[in-house]
Amino acid sequence: MPLSEPVAKRVTALNTRYKHHSATSVLEGALRDAQVGKTALVSSFGAESVVLLHLVSVIDRTTPVLFIDTEMLFAETLDYQHELTERLHLKNVKVIRASDEMKKLHDPDGTLHQYNTDACCDLRKTIPLQNALNDYDAWITGRKRYQSSTRAALDFFENEDDTRIKINPLCHWDMSDLQDYMTENRLPRHPLVAKGYPSIGCAPCTSPVKEGEDPRAGRWRNSNKEECGIHFVNGKVVRGGGVAA
């Protein structure tokens, strides 16, 4: 089935083909299947990112890896990104940032996150990523069903607004699968995990999580926000009150 076929048709065919496959097989297919097209991995280099990054490094170290630097990340995340890039011999990491023009226009003093987190995520994550993804037919994410109610029905392949394919190779994995993989492959952990951060985003909007809390409870705490906005649910981007691109 050529890339000229509609995204929805290709997604249906891919989910049927890979329905009973492992994460590794899905990832290999994503990087080599003609129905998928030009593909990049998008990584936050967060708490669980090393698993997918390691899998990609084993299959093809030249795979484009898009890292969104919001310029509000923890210093530990930036250090971890450099460490993993070197250790896994990733050959094609691309750092994505909001343009200076957009920041001067919408967040000149860097306080937008204090009163409109959706607009801040738009400015520093969603718009830069969507601009970068214009060069690709598909992108790989580390999303998993167990992470939140909005992710409970994830498939391996998704139709992103009839524009491109989104691939979730680890969608059926749970926390124990991730921990086992990290241990078996002796992979370095994000340094903030040991300090109570099981899910790591921007420093101003991420707090430690107490024992028994949802792993993502520290993201945008005390708000009804669950997603930064780079992901689509049912064909619609999860974001609000944003910034015009």
Distance of alpha carbon 224 from alpha carbon 49, whole angstroms: 24
Give dist(CA 244, CA 241) in Å, integer: 10
**Residues marked as catalytic:** 228
Task: Give me 164's structure tokens.
Answer: 């491109």
Query: How far apart are the C-alpha atoms of 59 and 29, rounded to whole Å?
Result: 10
Q: Determine the 3-state secondary structure of 95 from DSSP.
A: strand
Q: Where are the alpha helices (DSSP H) in 95-210?
A: 100-106, 112-115, 117-121, 127-133, 175-184
Contact (CB, 8 A) for 98 and 69 = no
Contact 67, 81 (CB under 8 A): yes
Q: How far apart, in whole angstroms, are the C-alpha atoms of residue 47 and residue 54?
A: 13
First to last CA, the chain: 33
**Which residues fall within 8 angstroms of residue 92, CB to CB, at 6 or more apart?**
61, 62, 63, 64, 65
